[in-house]
Amino acid sequence: MTEVFVLGTASLSAYEKGMDTGPKIAQVAALIGDPARANMLSALMDGRTLTASELAYVSGVAPQTASGHLAKLSDAGLLALAKRGRRRYFRLASPHVARVLEGLMVVAQDGPARQRNLWRGGETLRHARTCYDHMAGRIAVAIADRLVQQSFILLDEDGGQLTDAGRSFFNELGVDLRLASKRRVFCRPCLDWSERRSHLAGAVGAAILDHALEHDWVEHVRDSRALVVTPVGVRELATTFGIEGAPPMDGHDGRVGSLSGGRVSAIAVESAPPGRR
């Protein structure tokens, strides 16, 4: 018996549109699927700009080979190029590209058990890191949880919005979200690939990271997406968001992760009532 499927006009239009976008999706997926290009894109996930030589190094290929990869990624709109004198600097073209990469990381981690990668990023990276222009890791997930629990932010799968109480909270903190760009998403959940829960992205997420960096709550780790939580940050995160705890173990020999200068590398997150500033 032969089955006959009848598509209405609206369904046919959607089907034809899918036939048109399918090859485009396949083209982008093929570009990201190359290991060298995937390493290049991952290296730019912290929002930095890197030279072709630096990207060749992180991808483990020769400079000439790297140039070919970078040209393909730029032509596909995944990378943006800026020239300064003789040097060429590359960055991710937009937050949308970062979101795709973060989503792929989550899918890769949740693959078949025998192919699933164990977290090897280290406790410092897992605890606090950048995800393009906002914060990720345990700290960022805990901040998002606290803002939702206090009804400062209302989140759903597609986006988020500030409540009146949330606007007052950020104003008191000294974060002026009225200046957030109109050309980008204001607030949205971003699935954290190490924690499997959402942190905050969009203009709100970027503003929180900017505030943390400006007030020395966290510092960048050189050549890494990891963020160091400073002693000031330990105090202010506890006071502002109710996030407290001791430095975590590094996961290898039982020692507490740390850097020179007496700065704490990360703090364990526990629920605690947020304090008044």
**Nearest in space to 227 (alpha carbons), one of 253, 198, 263:** 263
Report the distance separating Cα 133 and Cα 48, nearest Å. Answer: 9
Report the distance separating Cα 42 and Cα 24, nearest Å. Answer: 21
| 210: amino acid identity, one letter | D
Report the distance separating Cα 15 and Cα 7, nearest Å. Answer: 9
Sign of CA dihedral 268, 174, 133, 165: positive
Q: Which residues lie closer than 8 Å to 198 by C-beta, 6 or more apart?
A: 141, 144, 155, 189, 190, 191, 192
- The confidence score (pLDDT) of residue 23 equals 77
Helix (H) or strand (E) holding 270: strand 270-271
Report the distance separating Cα 229 and Cα 186, nearest Å. Answer: 26
Write out the two tokens for 89.
Answer: 């600097």
pTM of the model: 0.60
Highest mean pLDDT: which of 2-6, 49-53, 157-161?
A: 49-53
Phi and psi at 249, nearest 5°, equal -75, 155
- The confidence score (pLDDT) of residue 263 equals 41
Task: List, in sequence order, the alpha helices (H) in 76-183.
Answer: 95-109, 123-127, 138-149, 164-173
Residue 207 has pLDDT above 50, yes or no: yes
Report the distance separating Cα 264 and Cα 227, nearest Å. Answer: 11
pLDDT digits (tens, 9 = 90+) for 213-237: 999 999 888 777 888 888 999 999 9
Place of tokens 């060429």: 88
Query: 248 and 123 in contact (C-beta within 8 Å)?
Result: yes
Report the distance separating Cα 207 and Cα 202, nearest Å. Answer: 9
- The confidence score (pLDDT) of residue 184 equals 67
Burial of residue 211, with CB atoms counted within 10 A of its CB: 0-12 exposed, 13-18 middle, 19 or more buried: middle
pLDDT digits (tens, 9 = 90+) for 102-152: 778 767 766 554 444 444 457 778 888 888 888 988 999 999 999 999 999
pLDDT tier, 245 (very low <50, low <70, confident <90, very high otherwise):
very low
pLDDT digits (tens, 9 = 90+) for 153-201: 998 877 888 899 999 999 999 987 876 656 567 888 888 878 878 899 8
